[in-house]
Chain A
Amino acid sequence: MDMKANQTGQTSDFAFLYNNAACGLISFDLSGKIHEMNQTLRRWTGLEDSQTDNLIFPDLLEKGSQLYFQLFVYPLLKMHKEVKEINFQIETESESFQCLFSAKVIMGSGQDDNMLVHAVIFKVVDRKKFEDELRLKKKKAELETLQKDETLKKVASDQSHLVRAPLANVLGLIALLEQTEMTGESKELLSMLKESANQLDTVIRNIVITANT
């Protein structure tokens, strides 16, 4: 770690702060090769100094996070020089935990190859539980809405069929009645009956249409 300061005391203060920060700090180049890693992150990952010499950063991640790094995070680091709050699962031989990863790419001596990724890693064990709970609830709510929709559709479709059969009979019987001899008053009543039956038919048709769209 290159920490040039005028006073030796200050340097060691910086080094102390770096190593004992409340978050993991790591620097790696764009090929993934790890350059620096603070003691906090070493403690969290259980990795000794010598063990990180031949590791690349994605080696610290679980497989799904590795794939995510390749697909989403690498392009951002390379082309945008920054990523924020990526949720990864860190997985080493002895340790495994959820973290948030934020990083900036800092140019070295102006050459693309000299770019270093400086990353901050926060353990998010408790927050993750809360988040998982929310995701679970969301999934459950989505499923319930879907099931409700299906049930509603089925009820509407079944019930309308059940109601329409006798209604069809009523309409048929009205048509037969119309052909019989009737007094003026009966005719009027029959006409009103027919109108109401037709209205009911329209309402039921609309329910079926709405349920099926």
Chain B
Amino acid sequence: MIFAHGFGCDQNVWRYLIKAFENNYRIIVFDFVGSGQSDLSAYNSQRYSSLEGYASDVLEILERLNLKNVIFIGHSVACMIGLKAAVTRPEYFQSLIFVAPSPCYMIDDSYNGGMERAHLDALFDVMDSNYLGWSSSMAPLIMGNPERPELGEELTANFCATDPDIAREFARVTFLSDNRADLKMLKTPSLTLQCSSDMLAPVEVGHYIHENTAKNTLVILSATGHCPHMSHPDETIRTISSYIKNDKF
């Protein structure tokens, strides 16, 4: 099982789910470049100017660890990253689990993605005035200093720290890209977990994914918000477990 965090935090968000699955599965967690304790020097604007760059990273992890029959669990933008990876190299994946996914966050004439351009610009503006837990003096720490364990304490204080420049670019790639065309290319079975009230992805988005993706199961959770894996872990775990058990891949 590989867990891919969404935009805004890092692998810490999976704590509850990992606890639930670690006895029966081999668990892989990672931080996307620019998030958490990833190696910031690996960032390259060109490579990460579309979700494909992030999808290649997922495939590199699977390849390096020589994994097969992977259950990919992604949150938010990571769902589309996982989907792109599975379209490119389906042989790695057993199934994909989408937690609060959206192939396109913007509203257009025939599709309710949930957000107007003005809302996103407002978000980008708030992001620019919040360098959350990050300062340039911290960058060398985040880049890893195994020989200096005393820095670990500061890193804990840096929970979910995101490099502001990378976050700015990642936000634009996340929220301004339209990945709806990719849905039809997915052959791997998938489960969509949509929250009943999520300002980032309305319920219609869940139905859209379900209608446009082969072998997709849709579950509307009673959980509200954008992070059911944190806010309602029990319901999320239950739904994922029953899908894994009941579906014949």
Chain A residues near B (Cβ < 8 Å): 30-31, 62-68, 70-72, 74-76, 78-80, 86-89, 131, 135
Contacts and interface: CB of A to CB of B under 8 A. Distances in A.
A135 B124 CA distance: 14
Given A68-B130, A135-B128, A135-B129, A78 B227 contact: yes
Given A75-B9, A75-B13, A87 B126 contact: yes
A80 B119 contact: no
A67 B199 contact: yes
Contacts of B9: 72, 75-76, 79
A30 B231 contact: yes
Given A71-B226, A76-B160, A135-B129, 18 more contacts: A30-B231, A62-B122, A63-B122, A64-B123, A64-B124, A68-B127, A68-B130, A71-B7, A71-B8, A72-B130, A72-B160, A74-B227, A75-B12, A75-B230, A79-B13, A87-B126, A87-B129, A135-B128
B241 interface: no
B226 A64 contact: no
Interface string B151-167: 00000000110100000
Contacts of B126: 64-65, 67-68, 87-89
B129 A131 contact: yes
A67 B123 contact: yes
Interface of B: 6-9, 12-13, 15, 115, 118-130, 132, 159-160, 162, 199-200, 224-227, 230-231
Given A65-B126, A79-B12, A79-B15, A72 B230 contact: no
5 contacts: A63-B122, A64-B125, A64-B126, A67-B119, A70-B225
Given A64-B122, A66-B199, A131-B129, A31 B224 contact: yes
Nearest to B127: A68
Contacts of B128: 135
Contacts of A67: 115, 119-120, 122-123, 126, 199-200
A206 to B, nearest CB: 27
B159 A87 contact: no
A164 B159 CA distance: 56
A30 B230 CA distance: 10
A74 B200 CA distance: 13
Contacts of B226: 70-71, 74
Contacts of B122: 62-65, 67
Contact of A74 (B115, B130, B230): B230
Contacts of A64: 119, 121-126
A84 B6 CA distance: 21
Contacts of B15: 79
